[in-house]
Chains A and B, each alone.
Chain A
């Protein structure tokens, strides 16, 4: 014991280095997204070439997504809407009800998402359920499951109390509902929470919203890892109305 304590005593300077190492390792894990320092000019009304160029690229990207046969997710910040679209048609939408800083968070989120025009579409890279409602034994479902040859678990819906979507580079969307849930993995939740708190100084952009429980079920189940996401800038570019042929 004495020998161990002596060795530890000699290693004291290394221990003082530990917090530094900790910060260093976390910063390495959360690579900073490039070109964060160049926010878009925010003018209203007047023609802004850089904003027009950004919107033009996003529209082109959405057109590409809409031509594919797959679902995609649109965060429409100017209209404060979440939309799930297929072939350009809206299949599901929900108004963004911010919790917290709202528009300033949205601004930061957009800047980080597009990283100076480097990303137009990002896939969801992570989805984390902080708390869901506890599943209950349902005899009806058990009977049905037997008849249709499916696990009863699959027939039950996970009702999320709070979940998080991630796009990498510290981009996060926190969704909370009114349902009171139970944490499935409290220890893992704590670790994820601590990790995110420690990583915060190294950069993150988070939008926190509240959502109706019944709508959140669809949202939670559809937003799988890999779902392409597109974000429109918080301030919409105003275009003059198109001249109709009849007016000529």
Chain B
């Protein structure tokens, strides 16, 4: 009989220990909003009590929210899945596999310069459209290949690397073609967005200067 109590005791002790472990693992964390996103009551206004005024106020707010959205199709670049979308607010018009930034880092030990090869998240706009673009290789392209940085600027140009078209969206970042189509779908670029030639043509034909580019 005593043995039964001992076993029961051990089982219950283990159960309590287990419960404590479970409680620690599954406990709720304190919610923390990213800075600048805290919604406090002070910024909220009360809805007018009179029905017509209330409806008007609700409509005004919905309109205010709608005006923030682009009023024409826009490009979305999904760096998580390496996809480019061309879409409106409620419909997807086009989807293609792309390659985005690797997130890797390059440090030049001689000059202590540092580059991070990430595609910049946020809202941008197409600000240039180029046909048969030439790539002016920046310093990191030579450092990465363990090559000497050329003195003659003409030695920096490459006519094939960017494919047939390029669409700039600021700070030297482009949506362009590639000679490495096999690597589409993988985060391998230095921050630019690469597309296969057919898909690049499709996007090129529709995108205009000013088309919004959302990257996440």
Chain A contact residues, CB within 8 Å of chain B: 4-6, 8-9, 11-12, 15, 18-19, 21-22, 25-26, 29-31, 47, 49, 52-53, 55-57, 59-72, 84, 86-92, 120-123, 125-126, 141, 144, 147-150, 154-155, 157, 166-169, 188, 191-192, 194-196, 198-199, 214, 217-218, 221-222, 225-226, 228, 237, 239-240, 242
Contact = CB atoms under 8 A, between A and B. Distances in A.
A64 B28 contact: no
Chain B binding surface, main DSSP class: mixed
A217 B23 contact: no
A60 B81 contact: no
Given A26-B23, A90-B90, A239 B58 contact: yes
29 contacts: A15-B13, A18-B13, A26-B23, A29-B26, A56-B58, A59-B58, A60-B44, A60-B61, A72-B37, A89-B123, A89-B212, A90-B90, A125-B28, A125-B31, A166-B28, A169-B28, A192-B22, A194-B18, A196-B26, A198-B19, A218-B78, A218-B80, A218-B81, A218-B83, A221-B81, A225-B29, A228-B34, A228-B37, A242-B59
A157 B27 CA distance: 28
Interface stretch (B2-10, B150-158, B164-172): B2-10
Contacts, number: 216
Contacts of A26: 19, 22-23
B209 interface: no
Most buried by B among A65, A68, A123: A123
Report the interface size class on chain B. Answer: 35 or more
A149 to B, nearest CB: 4
Chain A binding surface, main DSSP class: helix
Contacts of B30: 125, 168
Contact of A89 (B25, B68, B103): B68
Most buried by A among B6, B27, B31: B31
A123 B216 contact: no
Interface stretch (B130-138, B183-191, B192-200): B183-191
Interface in B66-121: 66, 68-70, 74, 76, 78, 80-81, 83, 87, 89-90, 102-106, 117
A4 B22 CA distance: 28
Contact of B9 (A8, A49, A87, A222): A8
Given A29-B28, A217-B81, 20 more contacts: A4-B6, A8-B6, A9-B5, A21-B16, A29-B26, A52-B54, A57-B44, A59-B62, A67-B68, A89-B212, A126-B29, A144-B188, A148-B104, A150-B103, A154-B187, A157-B81, A168-B31, A192-B26, A226-B33, A226-B34
Given A18-B15, A86-B123, A70 B104 contact: no
Contact of B216 (A19, A53, A84): A84
B20 interface: yes
B32 interface: yes
Contacts of A60: 39, 43-45, 61
Most buried by B among A12, A18, A221, A225: A18
